[in-house]
Amino acid sequence: MIVCSMSYKGNCYDNACTKSFFSTLKRELIYGRRFRTRSEARQVIFEYIEVF
């Protein structure tokens, strides 16, 4: 389990978990794929997050 917490002002690692998550999401799901509509993209991303 990954736990992300905020620390003090100016800590460069504050949003490392978030950046890592979105990097993985883009690499595994978004790049190289075209969605016909925004709602289709929203549904695919929702399923990826909720099912995985």
Chain segment 16-41, per-residue pLDDT in tens: 888 999 999 999 999 999 999 999 99
Q: Is the dihedral of CA 3, 7, 13, 18 positive or negative?
A: positive
Residues 6+ apart with CB under 8 A from 11: none
Q: Give the residue from 25, 26, 17 showing the smallest Cα distance to 49.
A: 25
7 inside domain: no
35 inside domain: yes
Domain count, the chain: 1
- pLDDT score of 1: 52
33 inside domain: yes
10 inside domain: no
Q: pLDDT averaged over the chain?
A: 85
Domain that holds residue 41: 16-51
2 inside domain: no
Q: Is the dihedral of CA 14, 30, 50, 37 positive or negative?
A: positive
